[in-house]
Amino acid sequence: HLDGVASLDSSNTFYWVSLRNYPIQIENLHKGVYSSGNVSSIKRVYGDFNIATPGWLIMDAAISDQGNLLYYCNAYFNSCAFGMPCKARLGVAQQVNDTTFNKLNLTDTVFSNVNDTNYIVYAPQVTEDGLELYFTRILKSTVNSEICVSVRNSTTTKFSLPVVIHSNLGFVPEAASPSVDKQK
């Protein structure tokens, strides 16, 4: 099975996506406690941000620094071009309890400028203050990718239209990972 897309909050809770036991268990996001290079107390992450239909996966996820917000990518795979997802969209869910996050009511509005159906959008990374969103997008039916940033003035408003910070025709770079001071 595939394990990848690691994310860590400030209390050393480690999140990652895994296809272990998928599709028998549709929830493919996992969490555990990170310490000295090991992850223990492994659990699945539940919540209404998961789409309980075969082919839909959590392709990417990033936990906020405080561990209370989960930025995720729902992606649908079904024999699409270049082995990539047929469609994908970003969202945000709030922690309900130790193993559950539920989609925020404002998710569709917050990401309305980002979730462009002409693109496969994935690999969300949000700055510690929640005001800058970095993500990757691929123009559908191509391998033309871009790393983008969208900004906002408040954590309760929507992200701006994306600004491309790197594009690469014919190549698919992976996600950006901004530094805490937002300078790199």
Q: What is the DSSP string of 95-163?
A: EEETTEEEE-TTHHHHTTTT--TTEEEEEEEE-TTS-EEEEEEEETTS--EEEEEEE-SSTTSPPPSPE
pLDDT at 52: 93
Q: What is the pLDDT of residue 170?
A: 76
Average pLDDT rounded to a whole number, residues 79-95: 89
pLDDT of residue 176: 82
Is residue 17 over pLDDT 80?
yes
More confident residue, 167 or 179: 167
Instruction: Report if pTM > 0.85.
Output: yes
Q: What is the amino acid identity at position 148? A: C
Which pLDDT does position 53 carry in this prediction?
Answer: 92
The pLDDT score that the predictor gives to residue 101 is 98
Any idea of the CA torsion for 31, 36, 37, 41, to the nearest 10 degrees? -30
The percentage of the chain sitting over the pLDDT mark of 90, rounded to a whole number, equals 76
Closest CA to 172 of 72, 57, 71, 84: 84
| pLDDT recorded at residue 168 | 81
16-25, 98-107, 110-119: least confidently modelled range:
16-25
Q: Using CA atoms, how far apart are residues 84 and 69, in angstroms rounded to an integer?
A: 26
Q: Which residue has the higher pLDDT, 118 or 173?
A: 118
CA neighbor of 91 nearest in space, from 68, 73, 117, 76: 73
Output the CA torsion 37→41→47→52 (10° steps): 90
Q: What is the pLDDT of residue 84?
A: 83
